[in-house]
Structure 1
Amino acid sequence: MQQDDIARIFKPFEELATNLIPHAVAPGDGAHDIAHIQRVFANAMRIHAVEGGHAETIAGAVLLHDCVAVEKNSPLRAEASRLAAEKAGGILAVLGWSADQIARAAHAIAAHSFSAAIKPETLEAKILQDADRLDAIGLIGAARCFYTGGRMGSGLYDSTDPRAEDRALDDKRFSIDHFPVKLFKLADGFQTPTGRAMAAERHARLEQFYHQFLEEIG
């Protein structure tokens, strides 16, 4: 990423982004790439503009929330955010962040993950969790779902029973099953009023996509 792009996308934290982007993501996962970081940053700044919170802490947590990569099908998946929080603490310490600010950023990173099931205790943590989950619903959420399913070797849907009327849902085998298994549940768990409002809009789009998809396949 060019410096001009960093300055434009991560303003007013372009210096922080310059320092942290080299640590931000592992290569090879297009659902958790630098574009994902950009979208989560934009979501977080939009929520922060209404809800408040310490902006630099939010920005640092956003930039490093996926700094440790664990595949979706790994038994260590639930530990990914804790591992990322630990790694982020060391990176932010090198930048001279205070122990308190590092702790707040690390908690936000640890609590952002659905799999980790850690309750966000600070406003910064609530904002990061909301900002990240917004990227899992709506049309971008649908795209990421099918992309990840393809990487994991899943089919699009069960051709004999796409609606799972006579079978158990299985999102490891069929990407479309991930909508009712997880994605449709996310909108109920948003932490901030602004995040909830944004989530309601995206949830409606996700439901519309799901029903239109099933209609098209017959």
Structure 2
Amino acid sequence: MTQFHVLAEAFTPHDDLAAILLPHAFAADDGSHDAAHLMRVWKNATRIQAEEGGDTRQLAAAVLLHDCVSVEKNSPLRAGASRLAAEKAWQVLDALGWRTLEISAVAHAILTHSFSANIEPETLEAKILQDADRLDAIGMVGAARCFYIAGRMGSGLYDPLDPLAEARPLDDKAFAIDHFETKLFRLADGFQTAAGRRLALERQARLRNVLAMFLDEI
């Protein structure tokens, strides 16, 4: 049994599909968009789907392939990452014999999931994917990913002279905790489903506690 077949079990009842798609699904060197991220997003998506409904096969494919093209956060191509992923997903699913209508639905969900793309999701599956992915960017995991990505980008943790940016512009490329205000705290306002919004408020409260404890210690 391969590593992908073992990981695929986390995507039950679509584990057979996951075993096929996982080799196409993520960049091995990015710990913020790895197999663990896909597993968390699937867990979030199934929690939301249980309340909101939606096609779980399309949703599984969209979750598995939403980050199938890796573009670094500081790349000028970042805003187009979801479009590139949607195009690759179309090719992968077409080769597997999926119907055009289903492929189009999955590609739309992938295209619209990204905060950077700023495209509104139109289908329930697309709304669930966007919510499920954004849940992973807030809460305790969101804080951990923020600091991890800051390390990848060579950013500092905070400005030692003005950590709260009271007398300077926020700069999340230079300081990790600036990203809480520039993006992470804004995410909870844009959730698409009622279930997603409820979970987002819980996680945002945790994220604010993380920042408060961090500031207390520095």
TM-score w.r.t. length of structure 1: 0.97
Report deviation, 1:58. 0.4
1-structure distance, mates of 2:61, 2:82: 14
Distance 1:126 1:95 in 2: 25
Contact kept, 8 Å, 2:112 with 2:126, in 1: the verdict is yes
Tell me the equivalent position of 1:131: 132
| Alignment of structure 1 residues 135-150 onto 2, 5 Å | 135-150=136-151
Post-superposition shift, 1:116? Answer: 0.2
Contact in 1 for aligned 2:71/2:81 (Cα 8 Å)? yes
- CA drift of 1:97 comes to 1.0
Taking the aligned partners of 2:199 and 2:17, their CA distance within structure 1 comes to 27
Identify the residue that residue 166 of structure 2 maps to in structure 1.
165
Structure 1 CA distance, aligned partners of 2:214 and 2:112? 32
Instruction: Indicate the SS of the match to 1:182.
Output: helix
Q: How does 1:12-161 map to 2 (within 5 A)?
A: 12-161=13-162
The one-letter code matched in structure 1 to 2:172 is: D
Counterparts of 1:141 and 1:5, CA distance in 2: 22
State yes or no: 1:3 paired with 2:5.
yes
Aligned-pair CA distance for 1:6: 2.1
Give the structure 2 partner of residue 181 of structure 1: 182
CA distance in 2: counterparts of 1:56 and 1:114, whole angstroms? 23
Output the CA distance in 1 between the equivalents of 2:147 and 2:27. Answer: 20
SS at the partner of 1:32?
coil
Cα distance, 1:212 vs. partner?
A: 1.2
Q: Name the SS for the 1:114 alignment partner.
A: coil
SS at match of 1:22: helix
Alpha-carbon distance between aligned partners in 2 of 1:183 and 1:21, rounded to the nearest angstrom: 28
Runs of 4+ in 1 over 4 A off after TM superposition: none
Aligned residues: 216
Deviation, 1:5, is 4.1
Report the Cα distance in structure 1 between the residues aligned to 2:30 and 2:5, rounded to whole angstroms: 23
TM superposition score normalised by structure 2: 0.97
Q: SS at 2:67's partner residue?
A: coil
- Residues 179-212 of structure 1, C-alpha deviation per residue, up to 9 Å, x if partnerless? 0010000000000000000001000000111111
Work out the CA distance in 2 between the residues paired with 1:22 and 1:82: 19
After TM superposition, give the deviation of residue 95 of structure 1 in Å.
Answer: 1.4
String of CA shifts for 1:55-114, please: whole Å, max 9, x gaps: 100000000000000010000000000000000001011111110000000000000000
Shift of 1:215: 1.1
Assess if the C-alpha contact under 8 Å between 2:62 and 2:110 holds in 1. Answer: yes
SS at match of 1:157: coil
Which residue of structure 2 lines up, in the alignment, with residue 199 of structure 1?
200
Distance 2:113 2:5 in 1: 28
Cα displacement (A) at 1:4: 3.9
Q: Which amino acid aligns with 2:210?
A: F
Which 5+ residue runs of structure 1 have no aligned equivalent?
Answer: none
